[in-house]
Amino acid sequence: MRKVKNALKRHGINKVKVGTSMAMDVLESSYPPSNGTFRSDIATRVVKPMLQFLNRTKSFYFLDVYPYFPWSDNPKSINLDYALFESRNITVTDPGTGLVYHNLFDQMVDANIFAMARLGYPDIRVWIAETGWPNGGDYDQIGANIYNAATYNRNVVKKFLAKPTVGTPARPGKVLPSFIFALYNENQKPGPGTERHFGLLYPNGTSIYEIQLDGEVPKLGYKPLPKPTNNEPYKGKIWCVVAKRANGTAVGAAMSYACSQGNKTCDSIQKGKECYRPNSLVRHASYAFSSYWAQFKKLGGSCYFDGLATQTIKDPSYGSCKFPSITL
């Protein structure tokens, strides 16, 4: 950041602010917000000199704020309406400050503000570099749907554009410049299904749901949204199988990788074993993907394989061949 700022200065460009985006995992404590504390492994070595730079150059603390993730990790303790800016009667009072919170977004932002103050920088401005809610995801990803995504993004836009400016409980009335993430569903992005479903538009440019970014359309001014079906955790078995239209050569390589991992991952598809027949690449790879995922999901393994695999709740087992699964 120093080098970029110096380069801009050499070219006479003085109005560009330089910063870097921070995720919520830079905090080791975020609740209550007044207890916000940067992780001990980066607080002194990384964050403090960065805050010094931001303060000296009058730049912003750029922050990614996704209430979806803490809510989906703990839906029994965090009310969904509180995460979606929909709560009317739910409040959280910070015992350290007495500040009252009406939504999860404000809690998350203020935790970072208090963390900065704890390092001696209470006044650096915050810019929301990313915020949004996924409009779809995998079977094991609760609450990722069009209804919740539209509700969250419409409400957060209203918050950002409210007049007079709302700010947060720790900084009432302060402007929060912000970006919505994202414009398009990134359909080729790796990782869990939600990673490909944060857009306002499909990759072909059509709208996923109605939204006006001027914040002036009332809720009743939009067409009805499809009712959510996954706001409660899916209860049942899930398998990981080869996706439609997956490239055969790539599937073969992915199967080889899956079979090389874990304990007896692909024993059942060896010649003479119960899942060898029919000798089909798709069936063998689907077994390998399911077996791999069943072993490694708890360790962070995903059912993706560079877009070659997809989750299913339809049991692909047949005869004496039983495919491994995960149970939520």
pLDDT digits (tens, 9 = 90+) for 267-276: 999 999 999 9
pLDDT of residue 217: 86
Level-2 CATH architecture, domain 1-201: Alpha-Beta Barrel (3.20)
Residue 220 has pLDDT above 90, yes or no: no
The least confident of 75-84, 95-104, 209-218 is 209-218
DSSP bridge pairs for 312: 239
pLDDT of residue 58: 95
Active centre residues (catalytic): 130, 186, 189, 195
CB 325: neighbour CB atoms within 10 A? 19
Residue 188 has pLDDT above 90, yes or no: no
pTM: 0.90
pLDDT of residue 77: 95
3-state secondary structure of 66: coil
Going by pLDDT thresholds of 50, 70 and 90, the confidence category of residue 278 is: very high
Residue 279 has pLDDT above 90, yes or no: yes
Residue 65 has pLDDT above 90, yes or no: yes
DSSP bridge pairs for 315: none
The least confident of 119-128, 215-224, 234-243 is 215-224
* Pair 96, 32: CB distance under 8 Å: yes
The residue extents of the domains of the chain are 1-201, 237-327
pLDDT of residue 164: 94
Scan for tokens 């706001």, then name that residue: 231
pLDDT of residue 190: 85
Scan for tokens 């010094």, then name that residue: 52
Going by pLDDT thresholds of 50, 70 and 90, the confidence category of residue 57 is: very high
Residue 244's alpha-carbon distances to 51, 93, 193, in angstroms, are 48, 49, 16
Scan for tokens 């977004």, then name that residue: 105
Going by pLDDT thresholds of 50, 70 and 90, the confidence category of residue 44 is: very high
pLDDT of residue 314: 96
Task: Provide the residue type at 327 as one letter.
Answer: T
pLDDT of residue 133: 98
Q: Dig out the tokens for 205 from the structure.
A: 């440019």
Q: What is the mean pLDDT of the chain?
A: 95
pLDDT of residue 9: 95
pLDDT of residue 219: 82
- What average pLDDT does range 283-306 have in this prediction? 94
Residue 138 has pLDDT above 90, yes or no: yes
pLDDT of residue 262: 87
- What average pLDDT does range 6-32 have in this prediction? 96
From the list 190, 110, 196, the residue with the least C-alpha distance to 149 is: 196
Residue 215 has pLDDT above 90, yes or no: no
Residue 191 has pLDDT above 90, yes or no: no
- What average pLDDT does range 289-297 have in this prediction? 95
pLDDT of residue 296: 94
Going by pLDDT thresholds of 50, 70 and 90, the confidence category of residue 136 is: very high
Residue 54 has pLDDT above 90, yes or no: yes
Can you tell me the distance from the alpha carbon of 269 to that of 254, in angstroms, rounded to the nearest whole number?
15
Q: Is the peptide bond before 122 cis (omega within 30 degrees of 0)?
A: no
pLDDT of residue 206: 97
- What average pLDDT does range 186-202 have in this prediction? 93
